[in-house]
Structure 1
Amino acid sequence: MGGMHTDEPLIVLGTMDFGTRVAPDTAFAILDAFVAGGGVWLDTANCYSFWADPSGTGGASERVIGAWLRARPGARETVRIATKVRQNPLVPHTWPKSAEGLSARAVHAGVRESLERLGVDHVDLLWAHAEDRAVPLAETVGAFGELVAKGVARRIGAANHAAWRVERARSLAREQGVPPWTSLQLRHSLLQPRPLTPVAEAGHRMLTAEDLDLARSEGLAVWSYSSLLWGSYARSDKPLPPTYDHPGTARVLAVLDEVAGELSATRNQAVLAWLIRQGIDPIVGASRVEQVEEALAARRVRLDDDHLARFAEAR
């Protein structure tokens, strides 16, 4: 199913803005286009998007997906759904203070509510959205393992976790005799911020060489978010954040334009192909149907070793 495995290239549809910045009818059109183009995986979270929702809590994205599934008989057999628990505010407008966390009770309650909003009896992948060091890792591991044993989550993974925490969790799962986390989700794209500079976005964790090392040695899937940097590769009205203002950015963009031209691809497609070439499954958000179609077409763009070497040298 993608990641460090050798299956078909995977483009994951990010649905974070559905029901808030993206109206439900537009979201339905995007979902329809994604499925029509052969897309399979939808990525959401129980907290999406509390910061853009007047209610101050999440659930909008999952509700829109649930409504779409009800309106499209048979769609549940076509798509796979990934959602996340950890960050949903339990009290409106009070994140992060009231974020649900990763206690066994919070994980079970979060999933139960997600299933209700989605109108499904299981999710295909459940993510721990971020670390919760206030809770013993063994407790979180046990709760996630239990959900797999019950068939409520087919697979489980860790988003925004340090590699050593993931491997510790996998060790604890072995000790407990429960299914382990098998997937990683981290922020990654062709352009990189200045080294050792914190990114402005709260809770984002950048993919590191250590994460890829862990994934390759253990056969874990890797999903990348903010894969296209919020449209900054293609749109002059979406400038890159200040942390990307360094000489490597201009050099990489110059190579990107060369490579995209050689492959008759857009900048975005070349970036997605670069991620896929490394066994990373990119999550792509969309607010318009044509963005989905452009992203799915990136599966046919093939970068060779020379392209990769040129990008590496530019950095």
Structure 2
Amino acid sequence: MPRSPLQLLDGLLDADGMAAAAHRFVLGGPFGAEPAETTAERLAHFADAGGLLVETSHSYAGGRAEAAVGRWLRRNPGVLGVTTKVGHDPTGGDIPLSRDTVFAHVRSALENLGVEAVDVLLYHCDDPARSVAELADTLVSLTEAGHVRRVGVSNWRAERLSELAARLGERGHTPVASYQFSLAEPDPTLLAGSLHADSAVLDVVRRHRLPLLGWSSQARGYFARSGPKEPGDRPDPYDTEDNRARRLRCRELAERLGSRPETVALAWTLHHPGVWPSIGPRNTAQIDNSLRARRLTLTEEQVHWLRDGR
């Protein structure tokens, strides 16, 4: 009997292998800030192409994103799993992660999404004023209440992530980690408090065998551009000397492989087992362009060369 998308999702989050019809890409994008027809078209196309998981947040689009996704999920129950995040207000600011606040936001998310349980619930931020033990207890309580199936965190310091993974592991849970992860390593001073999966975070991820949801896996289109952003744009956290060299190497390898630089860069993320790259295509054609990375096999030498130039 064929396995349902949610059964496949559970299997993929727990192991490195995957079913041939499924893939590890996670669909994000401007839900709640785009026409409803565009959202429906993107979600349907992504599901038809073997997608399993859509990513949103309780705070995105001024609090409208979950409801935008929920309208499609109600018409297509069980077709896609959903991950959402709590811990930001509608302006994107951090809020205290008290048990009452987190439970209230999760209940609101369930209503917005029209689902019985959130497949993956993430803290969008840390709350350093609270102990890891307290925050872990809240996550476990959410699963015991049946509100969420899997739990995890985004943008936590490595040492706090390590403690959380240990505490949750003792109680039978393997958390999902969510950080920026791509071939382009950003200037951390320009990420507005968000965190890149640096070597310390990756050490924790590997030691505890955590699934890593890599947001901004395409570095905001950096590898598709030939130069800097248009004048007047905010400073680009990805436009560094090292990343410009990586982009040139992507172009060189893409020419040899008959591909595109952004496809090569995305294939680099897929080379890392346990990483789920989050993509934000604005239309179905861009979804197809991203999915071409699945068919691009890189050697170990090419993976190291793309990043380090040797």
**TM-score, length of structure 1 as denominator length:** 0.85
For 1:86 and 1:179, locate their aligned partners in 2 and report how far apart those are by CA, in whole Å.
Answer: 24
Query: In structure 2, which of residues 221, 236, 241 is the aligned counterpart of residue 247 of structure 1?
Result: 241
User: Secondary structure, in 3 states, of the residue corresponding to 1:109?
Assistant: helix
Indicate how the Cα distance of structure 1 residues 160 and 153 shifts in structure 2: closer, same or farther if over 3 A, else same. same
Question: Quick one: which of 154, 157, 162 aligns to 2:152?
Answer: 157
Sequence identity of aligned pairs in percent?
A: 29
Shift of 1:100: 3.5
Q: Structure 1: how far apart are the matches of 2:226 and 2:14?
A: 34
Whether 1:229 and 2:214 are equivalent positions in the alignment is no
Are 1:141 and 1:180, in contact at CA under 8 Å, matched by a contact in 2? no
CA distance in 2, matches of 1:4, 1:232: 31
Shift of 1:256: 0.3
Shift in CA distance, 262/237, structure 1 to aligned 2, threshold 3 Å: closer
Q: Could you say which residue in structure 2 is the equivalent of 1:166?
A: 161
Deviation at 1:178, TM superposition (A): 3.8
**Conserved? CA contact 2:215–2:277, under 8 Å:** yes
Structure 2 gap ranges (5+): 1-10
The corresponding residue for 1:192 is: 185
Matched position secondary structure for 1:199: helix
Correspondence for 1:65:
69
Asked if 1:145 corresponds to 2:145, the answer is no
Select which of 1, 5, 11 maps to 2:25: 11
Distance 1:251 1:158 in 2: 32
Match of 2:306 among 292, 308, 311: 311
The amino acid that maps onto 1:224 is G
Give the Cα–Cα distance (whole angstroms) in 2 for the partners of residues 4 and 266 of structure 1: 31
Q: Which has the higher contact order (CA 8 A, sep 6+)?
A: 1
The total of aligned residue pairs comes to: 291
Structure 1 189/267 Cα, relative in aligned 2: closer, same or farther at 3 Å? same
Is 1:202 paired with 2:179? no
Task: Decide whether aligned partners of structure 1 residues 283 and 243 sit closer, same or farther in structure 2, where only a CA change above 3 A counts.
Answer: closer
Whether the 8 Å CA contact 1:231–1:238 is kept in 2: the answer is no
CA distance change for structure 1 residues 85 and 244 in 2, over 3 Å: closer, same or farther?
closer
Q: Please tell me the residue identity of whatever aligns with 2:265.
A: V
Does residue 269 in structure 1 map to residue 263 in structure 2?
yes
In structure 1, what is the equivalent of residue 112 of structure 2? 117
1:31 equivalent in structure 2: 43
Letter in 2 for 1:274: W
Q: Deviations over 1:155-184 (max 9, x none)?
A: 11111111210121233446xx64445211
Instruction: From the superposition, tell whether residues 245 and 4 of structure 1 become closer, same or farther in structure 2 (CA, over 3 Å).
Output: farther
Deviation at 1:88, TM superposition (A): 2.3
- C-alpha distance in structure 2 between counterparts of 1:121 and 1:256, whole Å: 43
Pairwise CA RMSD: 2.3
The aligned residue for residue 203 of structure 2 is 213
Structure 2-normalised TM-score? Answer: 0.86
Q: Is the Cα contact below 8 Å between 1:3 and 1:222 reproduced in 2?
A: no
Q: Cα offset for 1:238?
A: 7.0
Show the counterpart of 1:55: none
Separation in 2, partners of 1:275, 1:107: 32
CA contact (8 A) 1:169 1:181 kept: no
Residue ranges of structure 1 left out of the alignment (5+ in a row): 51-57
Counterparts of 1:31 and 1:131, CA distance in 2:
30
State how far apart, in whole Å, the 1-side matches of 2:131 and 2:164 are: 10
Find 1:45's aligned residue among 57, 73, 82.
57
Matched, 1:182 2:168: no
- Cα deviation, 1:211-249, whole Å, max 9, x if unaligned, reads 222112211101111111222221469729454444322
**In the aligned structure 1, how far is the partner of 2:14 from the partner of 2:203?**
10
Q: Distance in 2 between matches of 1:142 and 1:287?
A: 37
Question: Helix, strand or coil: the match of 1:154?
Answer: strand
Shift of 1:137: 2.5
State the 1:4 CA deviation.
8.4
Q: 1:244 to 1:235 in 2, by over 3 A?
A: closer
From the superposition, tell whether residues 274 and 4 of structure 1 become closer, same or farther in structure 2 (CA, over 3 Å): farther
Contact 1:3 / 1:223 at 8 angstroms: preserved in 2? no
Preserved CA contact (<8 Å) 2:191 2:237: no
